Structure 1
Amino acid sequence: MKRVFRLLAALVLASGVAGCTSISYYAQSLEGHVEIMAARRNVGKLIGDPSTPKALRAKLTSAAAIRRFATDELALPDNSSYRSYVDIGRDNVTYAVFAAPQFSLAPVTWCFPVFGCVPYRGYFSRKSAIESAAELQRRGLDVYVSGVTAYSTLGWFSDPLLSTMLRHDDTYIASLVFHELAHQKIYVNNDSAFNEAFAVSVETSGTRKWLRATGNRAGLRRYEANRKRGADFLALIAKTREELQQVYGSPRSPEQMAAAKDAAFDRLRMRYRQLRDKRWAGYRGYDAWFDSPINNAKLAATAVYGEQVPAFLRLYDLCSGDYPRFYASVRRIAALPATSRAEALKSAATCN
């Protein structure tokens, strides 16, 4: 999963959290954040510095243009975020730990001051993330650990571009920058599914607009093909989630439920292989996801990012691609009680 680790910085440490484990967790969050913030270097100065490697200069030049596009064309925040750069020297900036009960698809949530409740805990150290996952497993929970390439403090600090964000092509950079800035535009405490789906909708519509504006027709075709495969993947996950919900809601014994759960995951893998080898003509980009263990936590993490995206994109179309109108409409829905928010989004008939 490529998406955001929400910083719990000094304000959290000052909130009087009890327990050594909690204090240790917040301390590593603050330490990791301070390390990144202290290493920031201005993108404009790096581009103009003749000692900057040519490949990095090209990436930063593209990223700077993407950052301007985000403000000028997508009405995203015009601030100092993603106008500095940090080489973090590792594959992921953070690691997100997800958990869910053995027989439930509802993710475990952790609640923090300012940022609300989220369905994961983030760690700057892979070792710490693995240790946390092991402890959750000992409590009988399904767990899933995912590396994260982008970093966001929701605008509380000037978030930098990271070396992890520049490893791929410009389309990837654009999608990350648009996604993370969308979180700064609108963020609803305690509703990760709403927040992530909104950010993905801005990422998707914005990347399409950017590719068209730059005349990158080949890139747009690749992007749309990737989006279609992503939709197919989420449909597979949704079908398995439906099967498991029936299993978990049945009066079966724990042993019977565990066997039915394993059978559902076997069917998921079989359906994926059929999809990959036929409709996708052998595209293997999701093999790693299916080759590693699958459990409730992994399905829950995937659902957070995908389930409400179609409804947001439909609302964007209802707003005729006008970002200020779209954001205003999303804010009105976000202000509704949590129990009616998703339905209001799904049933929206106008951009109002």
Structure 2
Amino acid sequence: MRYYHQAWQGQWQLIRQREPVTSVINNEQTPKQLKQQLQLAQQLTLFAKNKLKLPVNGNFQTYTDTKRPFVVWNVFAAPQFSTQPYQWCYPWLGCLSYRGYFTEQAAQQEAEQLEREGYDTYVAGIKAFSTLGWFDDPLLNTFIYFPELELANLIFHELTHRWLYVQDDVDFNESLATTLAIIGVKQWFADREPQAVTRLKQRFQFDLEFSRWLLSYRDQLEQLYQQPLSVKDMTTKKQQLLADIRISYQQKRQQQWHNQPHYDHWINSQLNNAKLATVATYYRWVPALLTLYNQHQGNLDQFMKACQQLATATYQVRQDKLHKLASAAQ
């Protein structure tokens, strides 16, 4: 009950403080850059409604300044000798591999409690989230100043969650939102700035390559955890593998990833099972879903209907179909 109380209080604060975007834009005291970004966000939202057929309704029609750098802080956890994420289950949402708090202090307290129980933990600041249609989500100061490409990606991503969400399948939900955002950003920039499409493709390919590289180490850790070792020996070998990740990353940064600093801080800060458990959630099924999109010759309506069919299938049937699509993508 304490958790749901803070969640309601945090959400109510976002609702209570929001202002109509038109009012903020027309206010003479509003900084010029904020006005421009809000106008851009309105254009992106209209594009999402008309071209991507996403249910905008009242979303992103208001603005809230949270007076902080993140809107929530998510707690991730995993056992000391496993990369399988700890699960929290919620009414209507199903089970998720994270728990969100509206203050960093509350998130850290939850992480400390889990650590006392023997879990690895990871606390991450989050710039945006979707209430999945329970409320009209406002634009936030935490992301409104993003460059155009990143802002478009975020808006399309979050609106996709409002359109389609499957209980107990985080990987599918996030991969679908990532995929539809990629499609949307390509269409948005096609007639505006073709170079941005090239940058998007390069970033996507890098994110996918990074995820696959890190997953190989996560698999090595899982293999280690299956061995009949003492706690002391297991801990030593675990720390060696985590150190190997950093060494390998630095080597790649000096070679093929020399222009890709996006994960420097993520790698160089604490690494543990909880952090590694978050890998690939946003990209696991993206190649499969892009293959599905191409199978429909880029017809967005047909692709979205196919995704709805996947969503209504059982978890195992959905997994089997996505695995086949992923194989076809290789």
Q: Residues of 1 paired with 2:210 and 2:173: CA distance?
A: 21
Q: Are the counterparts in 2 of residues 236 and 271 from structure 1 also a CA contact under 8 Å?
A: no
Q: Tell me if structure 2 keeps the 8 A contact 1:133–1:143.
A: yes
The superposition leaves residues 150-189 of structure 1 with CA deviations (integer Å, 9 ceiling, x where unpaired) of: 1211011100110111132011111111111110111001
Q: 1:153 aligns with which of 113, 131, 140?
A: 131
TM-score after normalising by structure 2: 0.95
Alignment partners' CA distance in 2, 1:295 and 1:314:
33
Q: Does 1:310 align with 2:290?
A: no
Q: 2:261 aligns with which of 274, 284, 291?
A: 284
Distance (whole Å) between structure 2 residues aligned to residue 312 and residue 291 of structure 1:
32
The aligned runs of 1:144-223 (5 Å cut-off) are 144-213=122-191, 215-223=192-200
Q: Aligned in 2, Cα 1:340/1:105: closer, same or farther, shift over 3 Å?
A: farther
Partner SS, residue 174 of structure 1: helix
Q: Identify the match of residue 116 of structure 2 among 138, 148, 156.
A: 138
Alignment match, 1:251: 228
Q: Deviations over 1:22-54 (max 9, x none)?
A: x11111000000000111111123223333211
SS of residue in 1 equivalent to 2:255: helix
Q: Aligned partner of 2:211: which letter?
A: L
Alignment-mate amino acid for residue 250 of structure 1? Q
Unaligned runs of 5+ in 1: 1-22
Q: Is contact 2:83-2:277 (8 Å) kept? A: yes
Counterpart mapping for 1:106-121 below 5 A:
106-121=84-99
Instruction: Tell me how many residue pairs correspond in the alignment.
Output: 327
**What amino acid is the match of 2:278?**
A
1:205 shift after superposition: 1.7
CA distance in 2, matches of 1:165, 1:254: 43
What one-letter code is carried by the residue in structure 2 that aligns with 1:229?
Answer: F
Match of residue 122, structure 1, among 86, 94, 100:
100
Q: Distance in 2 between the 1:282 and 1:173 partners?
A: 22
In the other structure, the counterpart of 1:75 is 53
Over aligned residue pairs, what C-alpha RMSD do you find? 1.6
Q: Of the candidates 298, 319, 322, which is equivalent to residue 342 of structure 1?
A: 319
User: For each residue in 1:108-155, what CA deviation from the matched residue of structure 2 results, as whole angstroms up to 9, or x when unmatched?
Assistant: 111111111110100000000011101100100010111100121101
- How many angstroms apart in 1 are the aligned matches of 2:258 and 2:275? 26
Judging changes above 3 Å, is the alpha-carbon distance between structure 1 residues 261 and 152 closer, same or farther for their aligned structure 2 residues? same
Q: For residues 208 and 251 of structure 1, what CA distance do their matches in structure 2 show?
A: 50
Report if aligned partners of 2:114, 2:121 keep a CA contact under 8 Å in 1. yes
Matched, 1:232 2:209: yes
Q: Secondary structure at the match of 2:281?
A: helix
How far residue 221 of structure 1 moved from its aligned partner, in angstroms, is 2.9
Cα drift, residue 311 of structure 1: 1.0
